[in-house]
Amino acid sequence: MFKPQFRDDVYIEYSFGGAPTKVQVNPLYCLTDDSTSELVKLLAAFNPQVDTAIPLISGGPFHATDVVNIIKFSDGAGHETEWKYAGLIANYWNHGFPEAYALASAINDIIASMG
């Protein structure tokens, strides 16, 4: 059974002229590399592509301490989903749907609506 592991070491740092502030990014956005690899294997039929991105907010006075894994899916014919945080997809896989195949069904529906 897939049991995703989430990182708790990603922060957003900012300062508005005072002392710097550090706020933890919700770990559900921060899937570990090993768990991302497991998720990709589980969802291989949907041609997952993995990349990294700055979590949530960055720029100006905001700075992320690290990047997190993001993932998108395609039908192999040029139709793709938008990039999503891999951690959120892993959480949906385990908790957001009453049955595991619902995520696969949702991905199929998204891809089908693009054509």
Q: What are the structural domain ranges in the chain?
A: 27-55+67-114
- Residue that wins the pLDDT comparison between 79 and 51: 51
Q: Whole-structure pTM over 0.95, yes or no? A: no
69's enclosing H/E stretch is strand 68-72
Helix, strand, or coil (residue 15): coil
For the record, the structure tokens of 84 come out as 């999503």
For the record, the structure tokens of 8 come out as 């708790």
- Residue 77: its pLDDT value, please? 75
- Residue 99: its pLDDT value, please? 47
Helix, strand, or coil (residue 92): helix
Q: State residue 80 phi and psi, 5-degree precision.
A: -135, 155
Distance CA(22)–CA(15), nearest Å, equals 9
For the record, the structure tokens of 67 come out as 């990047």
pLDDT at 8 over 60: yes
